[in-house]
Amino acid sequence: MKSSYSAAFMVLLYGKETVDSETLNSIESLSLNNENHLLVIWNNGPKSLMNHDVEAFERIGFDVEMRETVNNESLSKIYNSFIDDFNSDKYIILDDDSCLNQKYFNKIFDLNTDEIGVPLILSNGIPNGPKLNRKLCCETDQVSDKDKFIGIGSGLVIGQKIVAKMKRDHQTVFDERFYFYGVDTTFFFRVKLSLLSRKIKIIPGFEHSLSKLMKESEPVTEFRLKEMSYDIGLRLRYYKPRFSGLFLLLKESISSTIKLLFNKKSKIIVKYLLKAYVSGKHYRL
């Protein structure tokens, strides 16, 4: 494990060179405080990076580490490896398509090691999350351990003391039974189970590209339906009591079947939903 950092940032790339990442391009224009910071650029494939030039990030004060998993590794495993491999007061997880700003950066440095920072996310200028009790959050909202809170992973800030508590309770911070979908959601389930919801702080956010709002090809749509089906099936198995999980499984299956009969779009594919619930594992594990 390398020397301790005040903040460790990870930008996860997929299908992009470093110069094509909006997140990395926006980081170049921001200012760090005078503490010790790390930037991990993690390429998750499908090809190795051609450009390994990190001088621009070193110039603004980062130590830089580059990693590659060109097999499109599980997000949960990547996030856990990032946290396990580097010693830092705070861990910041970022996708490759966010437009970061100085206000967000400054707030990261203000957070304590026993807090979880969750940014307000905009897409095309429209608020899209996080959500508190199914309603969009604002910066003044406070979260209690009884609340239902869901956010996305991009921009998430996790303090070292939060990491320690979640590892004691769950062995890992992120649930590695989830591969792509459900990784963010089950993180917040674990936060709630560990009675840490009150440690969530809503912070100023940034513009972020959300795939669900974009038009996609049929193969990509099929992939997302399969992923969503496994996500829901696994969540019902592991994060719901047996009876209510089975009830919701039946409800989702019937609802999806009826939609198909009436040529309406469904968010799942029933056979994958059932496979996920019965097998208890993602199809790539």
pLDDT tens for residues 125-171? 888 889 999 999 999 999 999 999 999 889 999 999 999 999 999 99
pLDDT at site 215: 63
The string of pLDDT tens digits covering residues 64-87 is: 999 999 999 999 999 999 999 999
Please give the share of the chain, as a percent, with pLDDT higher than 90: 84
Name which of 196, 190, 184, 165 is nearest 227 in CA terms: 184
Q: Token digits for 249?
A: 């499984």
Above 70 in pLDDT, residue 214? no
| Band of residue 33 on the pLDDT scale cut at 50, 70, 90 | confident
How far is the C-alpha of 178 from the C-alpha of 218, rounded, in Å?
Answer: 23
Assigned token pair, 1: 């494990």
Per the prediction, the chain carries an average pLDDT of: 93
Host H or E run for residue 200: strand 200-208
- DSSP for residue 213: G
**Res 3: pLDDT:** 57
Residues 6+ apart with CB under 8 A from 264: none
Mean pLDDT value across residues 181-198? 97
Position with higher pLDDT, 212 vs 215: 215
User: At 95, phi and psi to the nearest 5?
Assistant: -80, 180
Spell out the long-range contacts of 105-109 with Cβ–Cβ below 8 A and sequence spacing 24 or more.
105/30, 105/31, 105/32, 107/203, 107/204, 108/7, 108/157, 108/203, 109/6, 109/7, 109/33, 109/35
Whether residue 207 is predicted with pLDDT greater than 50 in this model: the reply is: yes
- CA–CA distance, 174 with 71 (Å, rounded to integer): 20
Distance CA 24, CA 68 (A): 16
Residue keyed to tokens 């590695």: 176
Q: How far apart are CA 159 and CA 42, in angstroms?
A: 20
User: In this predicted model, what pLDDT tens digit does every residue of 85-113 receive, in sequence order?
Assistant: 999 999 999 999 999 999 999 999 999 99
